[in-house]
Amino acid sequence: MTTTNLLRPGAYALGLVTLMSFGAATQAEDEFTAPLTALAQSEIVAIASDPAVISAIIAQNAVTASYDQAKIDELDKQWRAEVDAASKPLVDATLANAASQYLKGVQEASGGKYTEIFVMDAKGLNVAQSSLTSDYWQGDEDKFTASFGAGAGAVHVSDVEQDESTQVFQSQVSVPVADPATGNLIGAITVGVDVSML
């Protein structure tokens, strides 16, 4: 009984610390929402407007427009299998295209502010990326549904999370991509942002 009584204050303190940490995390996310939204509406929209990005999305939309969910799932499964495989035809073709090379250059030039950049077509499938993503289809995730799915001018800012491998606190910021010639939405872009560099 004495042991139980001794543990109760500690358990309470742990609970209090957890609640305080949660509050701090929420406050931190609120603190970054405005600058991340401003970044989305300026730099990220500019990245998405590059001719290499626009032409790559338009070209891929012409191919994937007829894909049903079974085809999308098949490609996503292939991509996931290729991530750790020796032979990576789908991954290599995506990483080698001109739009991916452009995004890689943008990430490198950011001096660490951008941790990842990837572009999706109208189905939510990867078109181009600065570095390898774990999956090929983003169409069921907020980064796509709350940007492309929400229409022109939408901005989706994810929760601030710590990347386990880099220890960087980052948020994924996503906006829809429009064809400048028509104004029609053609895809979306997601940029990982190191919030310490805002």
Q: Per-residue confidence of the chain (198 residues) as pLDDT tens digits?
A: 444 434 333 333 333 333 333 334 444 457 899 999 999 999 999 999 999 999 999 999 999 999 999 999 999 999 999 999 999 999 999 999 999 999 999 999 999 999 999 999 999 999 999 999 999 999 999 999 999 999 999 999 999 998 876 788 999 999 999 999 999 999 999 999 999 999
- The pLDDT, as a whole number, for residue 31 is 87
- The pLDDT, as a whole number, for residue 29 is 56
Residue 81 in tokens: 């299998």
pTM equals: 0.84
Helical H segments across 40-146, by residue range? 45-48, 51-64, 69-83, 89-96, 98-109, 142-145
Helical H segments across the chain, by residue range? 2-39, 45-48, 51-64, 69-83, 89-96, 98-109, 142-145
Domain regions of the chain by residue span: 2-197
Alpha-carbon distance values, 143 to 9, 100, 193 (Å): 42, 19, 14
Which class is domain 2-197?
alpha beta
